[in-house]
C-alpha cells in the first residue's frame, strides 16, 4: 500500500525509460546507448560521433556490418540526417567507424588514466593499487579498471560496439 499512485507511476516510468532510437539499417528501435550515432560534416561526409554529443541531427545504426551496409544500400543516411550526404562505400564506412571507436576508446582511457578515473590492471586481473571498486574493461590494447561510474558505462558501451563491429560477416 503506497502513497500516491501517480507518483509511483511516474517513478517507475523514469526507471524503465531510457532513450531509444531507430536503426536506419534495420528500422529496429533500440536503446540509444546500444547504437552508433553518425553525423555529416559540412561536405556531407559521414562521421562517427562516438560520444553522441555533437550538436545537430544524428542518424543511428546498430554496430554491425550488416546494418551499416543495409543503410548504405537503402540510401538511409540522407533520410535519417535530413540532408544530402556523399555516396559512401559500406566497407570503407565500416572501417572508418571501427577506427573511430578504437580512437575514442584510446583517447578516453588515456585521459581517465591520467586524471585517476581509471587504473591499469595487470595481466593477473588485479588493479595496481589494490582494491578500488569499479568496472574492469578489456579490449585490443589493454585492460583497465574504471572507477568513475559514468565513464565506465560510456566505455563499456564502446567496447561492446567494437566487439560487434569486429564480427566479420563474410
Write down the least CB distance from residue 66 to Zn ion, Å. Answer: 7
Residue 150 C-beta: closest distance to Zn ion, Å? 26
From 26, 113, 135, 159, residue interacting with Zn ion (rule: CB under 5 A): 26
Task: Taking the CA atoms of 63, 66, 70 and 73 in sequence, report the sign of the dihedral they define.
Answer: positive
Cβ atoms 108, 101 nearer than 8 A: no
Interface size with Zn ion, residues (CB under 5 A): 5
Q: Which of 39, 40, 62, 151 binds Zn ion (CB under 5 A)?
A: 62
Question: Could you tell me the smallest distance in angstroms from the CB atom of residue 69 to Zn ion?
Answer: 10
Residue of 70, 38, 67, 61 whose CA lies nearest to 51: 38
67 interacts with Zn ion by CB under 5 A = yes
- Of the candidates 73, 80, 74, the one whose C-alpha atom is nearest the C-alpha of residue 35 is 80
- Radius of gyration over every alpha carbon of the chain, rounded to an integer in angstroms: 19
**Local structure of residue 49 (DSSP, 8 states):** -
Closer by beta carbon to Zn ion, 26 or else 159: 26
Minimum Å distance from CB 67 to Zn ion? Answer: 3
Query: Residue 25 interacts with Zn ion (CB under 5 A)?
Result: yes
Phi, psi of 61 (to 5 degrees): -145, 145
Q: Which residues bind Zn ion (CB under 5 A)?
A: 23, 25-26, 62, 67
Amino acid at each position: 500500500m503506497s502513497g500516491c499512485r501517480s507518483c509511483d507511476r511516474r517513478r517507475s516510468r523514469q526507471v524503465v525509460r531510457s532513450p531509444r532510437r531507430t536503426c536506419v539499417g534495420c528500422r529496429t528501435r533500440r536503446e540509444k546507448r546500444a547504437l552508433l550515432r553518425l553525423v555529416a560534416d559540412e561536405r556531407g561526409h559521414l562521421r562517427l560521433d562516438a560520444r553522441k554529443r555533437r550538436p545537430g541531427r544524428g542518424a543511428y545504426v546498430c554496430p554491425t556490418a550488416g546494418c551499416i551496409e543495409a543503410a548504405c544500400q537503402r540510401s538511409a543516411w540522407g533520410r535519417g540526417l535530413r540532408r544530402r550526404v556523399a555516396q559512401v562505400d559500406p566497407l570503407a564506412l565500416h572501417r572508418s567507424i571501427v577506427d573511430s571507436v578504437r580512437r575514442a576508446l584510446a583517447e578516453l582511457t588515456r585521459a581517465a588514466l591520467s586524471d585517476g578515473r581509471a587504473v591499469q590492471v595487470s595481466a593477473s586481473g588485479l588493479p595496481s593499487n589494490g582494491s578500488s571498486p569499479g568496472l574492469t574493461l578489456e579490449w585490443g590494447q589493454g585492460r583497465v579498471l574504471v572507477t568513475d561510474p559514468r565513464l565506465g558505462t560510456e566505455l563499456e558501451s564502446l567496447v561492446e560496439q567494437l566487439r560487434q563491429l569486429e564480427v566479420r560477416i563474410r
